[in-house]
Amino acid sequence: MAGGDARWRRFWVHVAIRLVAKRRYGAWADVPTLRRRQLRFDRRFARVDPQARRADVDCGGVPGEWIEVPETRADRVLLYLHGGAFMFRFPNTHAALAASWCRSLGARALLPDYRLAPEHRYPAAPEDCHAAYRWLLAQGVAPAGIVIAGDSAGGNLALATLHRIRAAGEPMPACAVLLSPAVDLTMSSPSLLANERSDPMFTYAAFGWIRGMYIAPERVLEPSASPLFGDFAGLPPLLFQAGGIEMLRDESVRAAAAAHRAGTTVELEIWEGMAHVFQAMPMLPQARAANASAVRFIGAHTGWSA
């Protein structure tokens, strides 16, 4: 696609996001109503690969979904932790993204249906994600055959799960991919203010509301809540991707720097002009390029390919 066409497509997508999403969160927001609206949006616009097979599964007490594609090999598992502000699900959107990676990697994906806030506040979500990883190990999947990934709140949970695995002395997965992760619930990243106007999706007040729905203030420094403050030594290779205009941009920058200081293999990609979790918008050529880079990173650290 020509550069001009790509820029215009990005522009109109960001306009649509701003009209639909900006300022939707706050003290006035009704979570059940938001969930119904977002599920309608997810059903209407997300397009899952028609060859993908989806099956419910019990991950040792945590419900979840298997995603398999024609190229799937049982010994290759993408443990994908969905985003959604710790409160929402976009089942088709995340199934579509996971399936597209699986097609390129010859893998299958497990998407845990972790407990959501505000009904189940922290630490319910990280407990469920860690339980899903332990369940995979108990099923005989080798740690080297597991890749952890997540977007936004799911990126938080992916990195938090790695910290929990390390603290428990359990074997690490092969690598991890973190898309626009929220890693610091103290809300001290400079881009939260610097990019508030350019971000088409969020406001600073919205992040404060989301945090309040998820966690008690006195617990935000715990590594399972704000994984930026965990120990990065001994973690597997990490790839961070973030959009240049999103408020969470510096969360990836700071976490990548912490991993580098700890001696962990890390890559950081800032996609200029892009918004939050743009990788889930397949109509954008930048999303396709970023997903190809994520697949490249996983393949480099696992040897997987279709």
| pLDDT, tens only, 48-82 | 999 999 999 999 999 999 999 999 999 999 999 99
The answer to whether 276 is a known catalytic residue is: yes
Tokens describing residue 129 = 């994600």
Candidate list 14, 130, 276, 301, residue with the active-site label:
276
Side-chain-side CA neighbours of residue 23 (13 Å)? 2
Candidate list 222, 246, 251, 267, residue with the active-site label:
246
Candidate list 100, 152, 224, 226, residue with the active-site label:
152
Our measurement of the distance from residue 66's CA atom to the centroid of its chain's CA atoms, rounded to an integer in Å, reads 17
Tokens describing residue 257 = 């720097």
Instruction: Look at the block and give the residue holding tokens 């938080």.
Output: 156
Q: Residue 90: which of 128, 47, 60 has the closest Cα?
A: 47
Residue 1: pLDDT above 70? no
H or E element in which residue 221 lies: none
Instruction: Give 3-302's CATH code, choosing from 3.40.1010.10, 3.30.930.10, 1.25.40.10, 3.40.50.1820.
Output: 3.40.50.1820
The answer to whether 246 is a known catalytic residue is: yes
Which spans in the chain are helix H?
Answer: 3-21, 31-45, 91-105, 124-138, 153-167, 191-194, 204-214, 249-261, 285-302
The SS3 assignment for 30 reads coil
pTM metric for this prediction = 0.95
pLDDT band for position 9 (50/70/90)? confident
Domain boundaries, the chain: 3-302
Plot region of 23 (φ>0 → left; ψ -120 to 50 → alpha; else → beta): left
The answer to whether 260 is a known catalytic residue is: no
Task: Give pLDDT tens digits for 140-194.
Answer: 999 999 999 999 999 999 999 999 999 999 999 999 999 999 999 999 999 999 9
